Amino acid sequence: MGDFIEKLREQLTRIWESLPIQQKIILIAGPSVLLIAMIVAVYLVSRPQMVTLLSSSDQVQLNEVATFLDNQNIAYKTEGNSILVNAHVKNRVAMQLAGEGIIGFRSGPGYELFDQVRLGMTKRMFDVNYIRAKQNELSKVIVSGARNIESAHVELNIPQEALFKEDEVEPSATVKVVTRGGVSPQEVEGIQRLVAFAVERLRPEKVVVLDGSNRTLSKESDEEPGVAEAKKHFEIEQTIEKKFKANLEGLLEKLVGPKGYDVRVNLKCNWQKKRIKNIHYDATNPATVSAKNYTETTEEQGISGEPGVTSNVQDTGIGAEPGSSKTAIEETIENFIHPWFETMIEEEQGELQELSVTVLVDYTKDADGNPTPRDEDQMTQFEKMLKNAAGLPSLMSAADTSKYSFIIGQQSFDKSYEQALARELFWNNVMTIVKSMIPLILLFALGYFAYIFFQRAFRPAEVEEESLEEEIPIEPVTEAKELTLAQLGLSEFGDIASLPAEEQRRLKMQEHVINYAAEKPEEVAGIIKAWLTN
């Protein structure tokens, strides 16, 4: 075993010494670079992966989290306003922090302030607690409704009601939010509407939204009254126009093909507000306004006795005995009114007032590819189908037809500008792709030239064929012959049978080589030349 190792060491030493300096450098640098790369890879894979545990602009909260991690002997790293921990323990640590109340949104008490009735609470104290509860409840709702909002604080300014209307002050509000990466304008508008509709007489434009650095996120509305409403009406009209246009374009694309038509839709709606006044009476419970009782009594006295002059004279009771009659009339006059109230309702009409549709189609092409106008029957059929697609027959039958118009025409489209634009767009895309590939091409070229350079630098020197031919002349041998021990330089050994077995095999091999060189000298010369070259 020791002899084998010694021989192996000697062979490796001879091979190493026979190598040129370039190959020695490659054999040393290659394994070294591979070993370093493996060490770096193992380090990158085995090192702990740090992920964000908490990102907040609240320095007090960050300090509390850092103190908790120190007490728990948990490794962490701070980067700006963020604390990073190992990914394997993030969820466990987050649950522990939430259980301790260190992370998460912490707001004051809401309507639970009124769960306990306090004796001696004044109206002023009640109003203050009510505003405080409302602020905390709104803060909770804002945070719970968005994942990118860490905390929110709401301040409400609700003035007391004034005796006179000209002395009234509108309520206002301020909302401060601490976010993770910011909020969109739609989210800011949603916060404004949320707070405005939760407070009486508070308009959304009176709610100011700030970020954690006290920068204004909400936009101040400088629009005059009615401008926002006009914009809303314009957007509605644009939406209706797009719907009409989409219906027509979908049908035209099947009739004349893509890019063979042009559609224009223009409409106007009636946005005037209609006031409706309604008076409501309650006939079941009339209310008395006034009442008057009137009583009339009539009394008549009669005459009895013998007829004559004396009987016609009213007597006071001397002579004949008088008779009397009495009549009483009672009447009650009552004035009353039925309870009533009136309502005034303002409704926006939003009715389609005017609609005009213009359709222009491209010429068709004949057998030779030349533009040719379409016949009238085809254009009439197009008009009927397009009117039905836009719903114009029902509109015209339900209203004044003078408010609705539909025009269809045909013309040969000039597509030269469109083709030029398409070519320009194509070449722009090509140039963009080429510019993006230039760095890759340069990198590939640099790698190729580096490969050629190192290939030439470390390539062994070539041996000239002429020198080999001059140094090793080959004489042809025409016949093979049996070599004796004297010819082999081994006459002192006597008979070959007396030699050791290993030496006999070497001599036999040498004899075969000499015989082979005598039979095929050209092939042996090529083998020797290749051996010397390498």
What is the C-alpha separation between 156 and 173, in angstroms, rounded? 5
**One-letter amino acid of 143:** V
What is the C-alpha separation between 465 and 471, in angstroms, rounded? 10
Q: Domain 238-272+349-413 class?
A: alpha beta
What is the C-alpha separation between 160 and 145, in angstroms, rounded? 31
Give the Å distances, CA to CA, from 38 to 29, 47, 48, 121.
Answer: 14, 14, 18, 76
Pairing of strands 172-179, 207-210: parallel
Q: From the centroid of its chain, how far is CA 156?
A: 32
- The contacts found for 458-465 with CB under 8 angstroms, 24 or more apart, are 458/22, 458/23, 458/25, 458/26, 459/22, 460/20, 460/22, 460/23, 462/533, 463/532, 463/533, 465/529
Where does residue 159 fall: left (phi above 0), alpha (psi -120 to 50 degrees), or beta otherwise?
Answer: beta
b/e sequence 457-476, b meaning 16+ C-beta within 10 Å: eeeeeeeeeeeeeeeeeeee
Per DSSP, 43 falls in state H
C-alpha dihedral, 282 to 287 to 292 to 295, nearest 10° = 70
What predicted TM-score, i.e. pTM, was given to this entire model?
Answer: 0.36
Q: Does this chain's domain 50-100 share its CATH topology with 238-272+349-413?
A: yes
SS3 percent helix, strand, coil of the chain, rounded to 5, is 50, 20, 30
What is the C-alpha separation between 356 and 390, in angstroms, rounded? 11
Report pLDDT for 525: 82
Of the candidates 492, 528, 490, the residue with the CA atom closest to the CA atom of residue 510: 490
b/e sequence 363-402, b meaning 16+ C-beta within 10 Å: bbeeeeeeeeeeeeeeeeebeeebbebbebeeebeeeeee
Report pLDDT for 463: 46
Report pLDDT for 28: 81
Report pLDDT for 155: 92
CA atoms 439, 440, 445, 450: torsion sign:
positive
Report pLDDT for 489: 56
Average pLDDT per consecutive 10 residues, the chain (534 residues; last block may be shorter): 74 78 77 82 72 77 86 86 84 76 64 68 82 88 80 88 79 88 86 90 90 83 64 85 88 86 87 75 72 74 55 51 65 74 68 85 85 88 85 60 80 76 86 83 80 65 47 48 56 61 76 80 81 74
User: Cβ distance 262 to 415 under 8 Å?
Assistant: no
What is the C-alpha separation between 348 and 344, in angstroms, rounded? 13
CA atoms 7, 10, 15, 16: torsion sign:
positive
DSSP string over 404-417? EEEEEEEE----HH
What is the C-alpha separation between 269 and 239, in angstroms, rounded? 12
Strand, helix or coil for residue 315:
coil
C-alpha dihedral, 143 to 148 to 150 to 151, nearest 10° = -40
pLDDT in tens, 192-207: 999 999 898 888 889 9
Alpha helices in 292-415 (DSSP H): 309-312, 376-390, 392-398
What is the C-alpha separation between 510 and 336, in angstroms, rounded? 151
**Structural domain spans, the chain:** 1-46, 50-100, 111-222, 238-272+349-413, 503-533
CATH number of 111-222: 3.30.300.30
For 247-305, list the strands marked E by DSSP: 261-270, 273-281, 287-302
Of the candidates 481, 465, 478, the residue with the CA atom closest to the CA atom of residue 526: 465
**One-letter amino acid of 340:** W
What is the C-alpha separation between 55 and 82, in angstroms, rounded? 4
Report pLDDT for 196: 92
Phi, psi of 52 (to 5 degrees): -75, 125
Report pLDDT for 468: 42
Strand, helix or coil for residue 275:
strand
Per DSSP, 160 falls in state P
User: CB-based burial of residue 83 (10 Å sphere; 0-12 exposed, 13-18 middle, 19+ buried)?
Assistant: buried
Report pLDDT for 352: 77
C-alpha dihedral, 180 to 186 to 188 to 191, nearest 10° = -110
Of the options 2.60.300, 3.30.70, 2.60.40, 1.10.10, the CATH number for the domain spanning 50-100: 3.30.70
User: Cβ distance 69 to 76 under 8 Å?
Assistant: yes
No. of H helices and E strands in the chain? 14, 15
Provide the terminal-to-terminal Cα distance of the chain, rounded to the nearest Å: 32
Per DSSP, 20 falls in state -
**One-letter amino acid of 77:** K
